[in-house]
Chains A and B, each alone.
Chain A
């Protein structure tokens, strides 16, 4: 298959992914990780060591399979924090009963409060990364402009910006389409795509620079 045909196919597939991603992001939004959604929390003081997995099984069973975050609280780690999207009084009582049965504790369900947990906004999640990424990208563009000036300064800069932006757009589109939760793994994924794109761009430009140099020699 010719390179041009390959490129066309890649562009068409990317365009489809981006359009679908944008459409889903607008209509359905992103699927946020539980940590980044409004949720409810209960804390049970077991007074003894426990296994997060055991509590998770109990909680998920009583919460009809809802996602839960289980965390140990304080230095002695004898209190469990259970966070989930929503907990009813009945579900709370059932969780307490099951935990009491399992750990032979006497936790009074009446005394356990369901507290709402306000989510961290997506924009607050991204905010600290904007400045470093912008500075790094500007410095990289300056380097690219110097290193590959024989290919064309403007062409190099524009191509780098477009590829960096498009790859990130594709990543977020895939996340929107596949409903991969936006959360703690999002930024690491953004970084991986960023690093990979940079290496790909540099590899491509090096090839082009080499061919320009060869042409000059000839």
Chain B
């Protein structure tokens, strides 16, 4: 009966080992496909999106009034209108020679790094060429990559201007933070996604002043501007209405986000912009969230001192190929083999049984890593090696304790020996457990990969050995 029990456990281990190492193949559209989930690999083992940013050498047409103030939204102005209004139009480089310096290159790199972190990119590499400002970024390839790429080189220039005079009322320096908030939208009768911009103490004061001025003087201003505008030639009634209304324009990278006037004084130092609302459509709501969060990330970290163009955007696979990973697997398997041979020779029957149990742990561990979606990086591979080494030390400790027993066939003595081994072993690895738990929560794939691998590894060592190794050795003691 005891032999049957041991044999059953061994057969289960063999089965699990086969599933783990060979897979479960099923026919799918005239071909056999492995149904065992594949590992998730990190950027260092899989590959990365390589993005090269170059300092823009392009120019843009800028329309200025007689005082030299830039006219916003001047795209619609024809050359005739520009002349009529006394404006001038000239081509100006996005990045003048004065701003193309190492200090700005470094600042741009730092800002992009901050943006990547805020966008939740959990592993990236970034380098800057301090001679020409070229920035090379590597980010993991996933469903978020294109969103990251599209936001990475946005300048993030924030302005609140007087729509009529183009006077800049507020800018990036006035922003304290930007984030996304939800709220019920009474108009749309659903959930609204808002971009919340909180201003600094100074900014809040400015905002209050602006909102007061615009609210109080709205009618007067409209009348004033009416009289002014009457003298000017207007094409249509619609244009006349637009110029008459005293509004502010909120712009990001010279693109108008909103044109509005204040209904009431803004005293709390923040503005909430409705990005969109949806009643039940989660997907639409999620799109609005993404949109709002992209703007928030850009505003929250400040303005890039230079305009960058994307020069290269391609996926490059890792130089660590499957072949290298196979070599590592063979190496680890070789070490395990030597280890279990030593166990077999040193502890005879108990050693053989523990070795079989050890192989079972390796198999379950590898399956666990696949099904718990642990991202495997180089650090993760080292985590696997450390876990296997720790389990070997544990098994060796248990066997050594049993070996030192006077009567090895005494089940209760074996049980005590195993308990003692547990206590001695786990008390020594408590500091490692603390580090493991900390690493699990780190938002940096490489370190969290190590943390997660170790977490599951240590948990498995505790549980698996309690259930399998412990049982096998106790059954053997009964024999």
Contacts and interface: CB of A to CB of B under 8 A. Distances in A.
Interface residues of B, number: 39
A139 B444 contact: no
A120 B428 contact: no
Given A117-B136, A124-B126, A135-B438, A187 B446 contact: yes
Which of A135, A139, A144, A199 has most B Cβ within 10 Å? A199
Contacts of B47: 71-72
Contact of B439 (A75, A136, A143): A136
Contacts of A53: 323
Interface stretch (B157-165, B263-271, B310-318, B471-479): B310-318
Given A69-B319, A73-B316, 6 more contacts: A71-B318, A124-B127, A139-B434, A144-B431, A188-B381, A203-B428
Interface of B: 44, 47, 125-129, 134, 136, 314-319, 321, 323, 378-379, 381-383, 386, 424, 427-432, 434-435, 438-439, 442, 444, 446-447, 450
Contacts of B424: 206
Contact of B44 (A120, A147, A184): A184
Contacts, number: 103
A191 interface: yes
Contacts of A135: 438
Contact of A73 (B44, B317, B447): B317
B314 A73 contact: yes
- Name A's interface SS: helix
Interface residues of A, number: 44
Contacts of A124: 125-127
A143 B431 contact: yes
A140 B439 contact: no
B438 A188 contact: no
Interface in A58-77: 69-75, 77
Contacts of A131: 442
Nearest to A201: B431
6 contacts: A53-B323, A118-B128, A140-B435, A187-B379, A188-B381, A206-B428
A184 B378 contact: yes
Contacts of B439: 132, 136
B432 A199 contact: yes
Nearest to B448: A132
Nearest to A188: B382
Contacts of A77: 317
Contacts of A120: 125-127
B115 to A, nearest CB: 15
Contacts of A116: 129
Interface string A111-154: 00000111111001000110110011101100110010000000
A66 B426 CA distance: 48
B431 A71 contact: no
A191 B379 contact: yes
Contact of A128 (B44, B321, B444): B444
A124 B110 CA distance: 11
B105 to A, nearest CB: 10
Contacts of A143: 430-431, 434
Given A118-B128, A184-B44, A199-B432, A132 B382 contact: no
B97 to A, nearest CB: 21
A135 B441 CA distance: 11
Most buried by A among B136, B323, B428, B431: B431
A118 B386 contact: no
A74 B314 contact: yes
Nearest to B454: A195
B379 A198 contact: no
Contact of A202 (B126, B323, B382, B428): B428
Nearest to B379: A188
Contacts of B432: 195, 198-199
B450 A191 contact: yes
A192 interface: yes
A52 B450 contact: no
Interface in A164-218: 184-185, 187-188, 191-192, 194-195, 198-199, 201-203, 206
Contacts of B378: 184-185, 187-188
A120 B136 CA distance: 9
B429 A199 contact: yes
B236 to A, nearest CB: 51
B428 A52 contact: no
A136 B454 CA distance: 14
A170 B205 CA distance: 56
A81 interface: yes
B126 A71 contact: no
Given A132-B447, A140-B435, A71 B315 contact: no
A137 B435 CA distance: 7
A199 B428 contact: yes
> Nearest 4 CB-CB pairs, A to B?
A188-B382, A136-B438, A136-B435, A198-B431
Contacts of A203: 428
Nearest to B444: A128
Contacts of B379: 187-188, 191
Given A118-B127, A119-B127, A191 B382 contact: yes
Contact of A192 (B125, B128, B386, B430): B386
A140 B315 contact: no
A54 to B, nearest CB: 12
Contact of B134 (A70, A118, A191): A118
A198 B316 contact: no
Given A119-B127, A187-B379, A194 B435 contact: yes
Contacts of B428: 199, 202-203, 206
